[in-house]
Structure 1
Amino acid sequence: MSEKPGRYQRSTSGLIGAMVVTLLAVGLFWTVRSLSRTEVEVEREPVDFAASAEAARGAGFDVVAPATLPEGWMATAIDLTQTDPPEWGMGVLTAEGKFVGLRQEDRPVDDLVEANVDEDAVEGEPLSLDSAVGDTWQTWIDEGGDTGYSIEYADQTVLVYGSAPPEDLQQFITLLER
């Protein structure tokens, strides 16, 4: 027998047909998933920032933190890194769901601003506030609407920043305690 093994015929129209069938199947799957999916709303759980701050202070780290938060505000994250020197931070949501962050680290202010506000943040006018941490805070603004305020405190940099309105950030600063 001189027959060659069986081979199927390849053609451009067959390839295009296979691609159309595949795209239709993917489109059908996507449509079914879109119609059957409901929006999942994840609620944040509050964290006990006051206990964390006290524990850090008990370990000898001079952290700054508010004693309490305004009505409707919620602390959602605490970050205490036990390096030498330690680093402290917390995240808060305002009653309107806007973010307020706090970082206290032994790093230059430019590094903290670049990492937390924006790498292209612009230095603004100094801000005078009555705060236990200090009275003159440096303002930082980015094009995306984030704002930050920094101050040197106990050989460290404290940065309050976020997407919350500047008035909320300033209110947070006035609540900070040593």
Structure 2
Amino acid sequence: MSQTSPPAGRPGRYNRSFSGLVVSMVVLVLAVVAFVVVRDFVRSDPDMPVVEVDYVEAVRAGQEAGFPVVYPPSLPDGWVATSALFPLGPNPEWTLGILVDGDDFVGVKVVRGDSGAVLDRVLGDPYDVDGSIDVPNDDPLLSGDWSAASEGKDEALYTQAEVAVAGPEGETAAPGAEPQTETAVVVVYGTVGEDRLVDFARTLTSATLPAR
């Protein structure tokens, strides 16, 4: 299978509100201060304590800024969210890091732009493109064929999807109206094996969180 790159993502449809920016900055500070799991670090020092973060706040920050966030509504037993980032800047991306059963790692990234650049960061270069996999999902925006790639034990599934986005302050579409969407690259990656990555990708959603 040849490696292709999706077209560059379009700018967001919504201007960031002041409160959305404040929430984004708060989430970023909390995530940086919290213990961020890095796979090699965890493996070299397994006695380090694991600090769980509230990734829902990072979901809300991205949605309030009009970014196409994709996230798991909940995590399986033994899976602990250790980092959730939505940094401000000219090229924002949404990232969730998860420690699995105390040893393995799973991550989710949502970016505007080129899938190859994201895979270079999460897998390393060179990586192998392994074909496509059907990933059924209750969220129709995320259901369908995803591409697979790997580098050693690290594996990734990725897709270009029309992901739902919220308006300023997390506003949803009016009743009966079509939801706003934006093209984004969604990448699920980690060391848990392809089957578990597929199972996890099937649970992801881009649904807007309810108002506080």
Superposition TM-score tier, normalisation by shorter sequence: 0.7 to 0.9
Q: CA 1:123 to 1:58, structure 2 compared with 1: closer, same or farther past 3 Å?
A: same
Residue in structure 2 matched with residue 73 of structure 1 by the alignment:
79
* 1:58 counterpart = 2:68: no
For 1:147, the aligned partner's letter is E
* TM-score for both structures, normalised by structure 2: 0.61
Give the Cα separation in 1 of the matches to 2:84 and 2:143.
22
Q: CA deviation at 1:94?
A: 1.4
Residue in structure 2 matched with residue 4 of structure 1 by the alignment:
none
Residue in structure 2 matched with residue 140 of structure 1 by the alignment:
149
Q: How many residue pairs are counted as aligned between the two chains?
A: 139
Give the Cα separation in 2 of the matches to 1:66 and 1:171.
11
Residue in structure 2 matched with residue 165 of structure 1 by the alignment:
193
**Aligned partner (choices 104, 108, 123) of residue 110 of structure 2:** 104
Residue in structure 1 matched with residue 33 of structure 2 by the alignment:
none
For 2:183, the aligned partner's letter is D
**Aligned partner (choices 53, 73, 83) of residue 89 of structure 2:** 83
* 1:118 counterpart = 2:110: no
Q: CA 1:155 to 1:84, structure 2 compared with 1: closer, same or farther past 3 Å?
A: farther
* Secondary structure in structure 2 of the residue aligned to 1:125: strand
Name the Cα RMSD after superposition: 1.7
On the 8 A contact 2:68/2:110 being kept in 1, the answer is no
On the 8 A contact 2:58/2:85 being kept in 1, the answer is no
Higher relative contact order, chain-length normalized (CA < 8 Å, sep 6+): 2
On the 8 A contact 1:129/1:136 being kept in 2, the answer is yes
Q: CA 1:71 to 1:82, structure 2 compared with 1: closer, same or farther past 3 Å?
A: same
On the 8 A contact 1:148/1:161 being kept in 2, the answer is yes
Residue in structure 2 matched with residue 155 of structure 1 by the alignment:
183
On the 8 A contact 1:134/1:151 being kept in 2, the answer is no
* TM-score for both structures, normalised by structure 1: 0.72
For 2:131, the aligned partner's letter is E
For 1:5-16, list aligned pairs within 5 A: none
